[in-house]
A and B are shown apart, each in its own frame.
Chain A
Amino acid sequence: MDGETCKCSQRFADVDDLGPLQEILERYRGEKGALIPLLQDAQEAYGYLDEKIMRALAKGAGYQLSQLYGVATFYTQFRLQPIGEHLIRVCHGTACHVAGAELISEEIYNLLGIRDGETTPDRKFTVETVMCVGACSLSPIMIVDEDTHGKLKPANVRKVLKRYMGESEEREE
């Protein structure tokens, strides 16, 4: 998480491969109250919590599936759907809100044709609204993968996103 390393090439494990899940189950075997770390590690390995993973996790760790689902849907960190290649998180903390985060989101929606929480049909981008990332002095902010882009104006959003659009698109710097 150090610095601005782009993780766009990161590959998640396939949800049909339960190998990584077995490792995770071993890691927390016998630990009290490990349900949340189990889900966190599973999501880190697979990118999201697929139903197959949830079922295997419930069985392997001795939980009811409903218990897992209850926890996974309570906390905002967990996702039950896969995300696109690049994750755009637009900060809507107070400082960002006052600085016009709404307009940044609108511009992203305009450019990508998706709304909050959605993924583009080509699975390139997922956009979501997040609450305060704690870098208020740079507001308004969006974080693409691990890179923070601060002091944004709606008019520069296109330029920032272009960098993540891949080789096929022309680069405009």
Chain B
Amino acid sequence: MSGNGRTKLVLGYGTCGIAAGAAAVKEALEREVSAGGYDLELDIAGCMGFCFREPIVEVFYPDGRSVVYGDLTPKKVPQLLQAAAAGEVLEDWVVRRSDDPTAGEGDFLANQHRIVLRNCGRLNPESIDEYIALGGYEAARKALTTMTPEEIIDEVSKSGLRGRGGAGFPTGTKWGFARRAKGDQKYLVCNADEGDPGAFMDRSVLEGDPHAVIEGMIIAGYAIGATQGYIYCRAEYPLALKRLDIAIDACRERGFLGEGIFGTDWNFDIKIKKGAGAFVCGEETALIASIEGKRGMPRPRPPFPANEGLWGKPTNINNVETLAAVPWIIANGGDKYAELGTEKSKGTKVFCLAGKVRRSGLAEVPMGYTLRQVIFDVGGGVREGKEFKAVQLGGPSGGCLPASLLDTPVDYEAITATGAIMGSGGMIVADSSTCMVDLARYFLSFTQAESCGKCVPCRLGTKRMLEILTRICEGRGEPEDLERLEVLAADIKAASLCALGGTAPNPVLTTLKYFRNEYEDHIFHHKCTAGVCPALITVKINRDLCSGCGACAKICPVEAITGEKKEPHSIDPEVCIRCKLCLSRCPEEAIYAE
């Protein structure tokens, strides 16, 4: 990346970086470089995936070496610049060194295989030139000038690529349907309505490498015969929207979008549609309704969008991650992609590691890696040395898997067999402080609120399930409730109109299957072992640890905490409302819930 003999500093400038304070670091870098008269180049990039160490700067030396530093603050900038200018390495701050993969958190990247994220963090997403310098738009040029649409579809079929939005439908087959559909106008839609809580890979790709998605769309549009593309992106992703705008404008200037692209007689252009906040719009027919300006409600299929989609025309919808993999497949060949993965799940998958995992961030691994490899080898295991309890896969449509299933390979069929789903790739790690009943209740409250209300099983079924889960968490569970949940779950799964309802019971079913004892503890023993459900816990002060500072008494909203100054305090359980505010206030960590 540093081609002109100067040392270059690249700041991670995605939403996660900015949220962690990258804007202040950027300001400090710019100020200090000019104040100190340093001969250093500054640039920005998208998220590198090291979200757990943001804000991050990667220093590229003229000799090709690079060093990643993390946890930066404006105060650390002068020292960073001095070291960078002198060609020295600040060992204590190292996150990763290109010349020593074992240094810092190097194994986070060393254990990954990056195809979709190939450029994320490596280029300035607002510069089309940097994308082109890394071989960008060569695949689109190759596809449009040397391949027939059928050859492209064959190549994608050969790669074994499956829809990364969650359903896992073979992409080549899907393109084939749209190709063969009859219609004077066809549409291609990129689904960037990433609504799963805990999934942020699409945002990271759009922010870090928007051109990869656009290039994938150009190839897909040509393959299926669509001249108009849409990107349906959440309005909650302002930075992604901004970078897409910049990228699309740059493409039009270069003749990569518009009329007669790449010197051929093919036309293709892209419009951005901002989603307005509805989880159900990730469903294809709901998404189409939303682009048409209607309430985003699904409709029965068939007819499938491939035949009757947007404005009644043949429409092909692919997810961001799927489309971002396409240029790589065209450039390197479908066979090369299919070398990675398992028999039925080829290539790589991007996961968003979050929750109680030590290294939360983006992990792209070959299919077939086990959950253990992803969570422990890449993710570094559970934070603060606590014990692994569960991993939640696939968001509100997915499930919670226990430690005994950690050797399950990441593969569509293998994950589905456990009762969870691959989904979009959210991976939330839970430790002993997470209550599985509460987690199931959380997901049901999400799907219940997001149910569009069109079909009865989903609209009423999720509501009834949520009521039951809420009363179990409140200590009012009945012995028959577990069976009621199972009956409801089966009916909702069988009878819902779309996948939102069809998968909504998964978090409940998997927790019932793998963590049934926790439900039983709540119902029969009025106990929440994780110390989460307020009605089932008592907040106590360890008198040996309490220094009597009084901070807890000050924050307690109901004055339940009393004690003499410098003497151990105590909590009146009759008055305490178990809001647990005092827990985070105690400097001695003497307060606990059980």
CB distance from B566 to the nearest CB of A (A): 20
B434 sits at the interface (CB 8 A): yes
With contacts A75-B296, A98-B439 taken as known, whether A36 is within 8 angstroms of B276 at the C-beta atoms is: yes
Within 8 A of B (CB), among A38-97: 39-40, 70-71, 74-78, 92-95, 97
Range, interface on chain A: 35 or more
Q: Is the CB of A40 within 8 A of B235?
A: yes
CB distance from A171 to the nearest CB of B (A): 19
Q: Is the CB of B442 within 8 A of A94?
A: yes
B98 sits at the interface (CB 8 A): no
B557 sits at the interface (CB 8 A): yes
CB distance from A140 to the nearest CB of B (A): 11
State A33–B273 Cα separation when bound (angstroms): 10
Q: Is the CB of B235 within 8 A of A98?
A: no
Within 8 A of A (CB), among B548-569: 555, 557
Within 8 A of A (CB), among B304-356: 311, 352, 354-356
With contacts A74-B278, A135-B19 taken as known, whether A103 is within 8 angstroms of B581 at the C-beta atoms is: yes
Q: Which of B127-135, B218-226, B287-295 contacts A (4 or more CB under 8 A)?
A: B287-295
Range, interface on chain B: 35 or more
Q: Is the CB of B276 within 8 A of A135?
A: no
Q: Is the CB of B23 within 8 A of A131?
A: no
With contacts A103-B581, A107-B581 taken as known, whether A98 is within 8 angstroms of B428 at the C-beta atoms is: yes
State A137–B14 Cα separation when bound (angstroms): 13
In the complex, what residues of A have CB within 8 A of residue B239's CB? 1-2
State A74–B290 Cα separation when bound (angstroms): 10
Q: Is the CB of B579 within 8 A of A76?
A: no
State A132–B282 Cα separation when bound (angstroms): 15
CB distance from B536 to the nearest CB of A (A): 15
Chain A: which residue is nearest B534 at the CB level? A102
Q: Hey, what's the 0/1 contact readout for B78-99 against A, CB within 8 Å counting as 1?
A: 0000000000000000000000
CB distance from B230 to the nearest CB of A (A): 10
Chain B: which residue is nearest A156 at the CB level? B584
Q: Is the CB of B439 within 8 A of A136?
A: no
Q: Hey, what's the 0/1 contact readout for B505-531 against A, CB within 8 Å counting as 1?
A: 000000000000000000000000000
Interface residues of A (CB under 8 A from B): 1-4, 32-37, 39-40, 70-71, 74-78, 92-95, 97-99, 103, 106-107, 110, 130-139, 141, 148, 150, 153-155
Interface residues of B (CB under 8 A from A): 15-16, 18-20, 23-24, 26, 51-52, 54, 194-200, 203, 235-239, 242, 273-279, 290-296, 311, 352, 354-356, 360-361, 392, 395, 426, 428, 430, 434, 439, 442-443, 446, 452, 555, 557, 579-581, 583-585
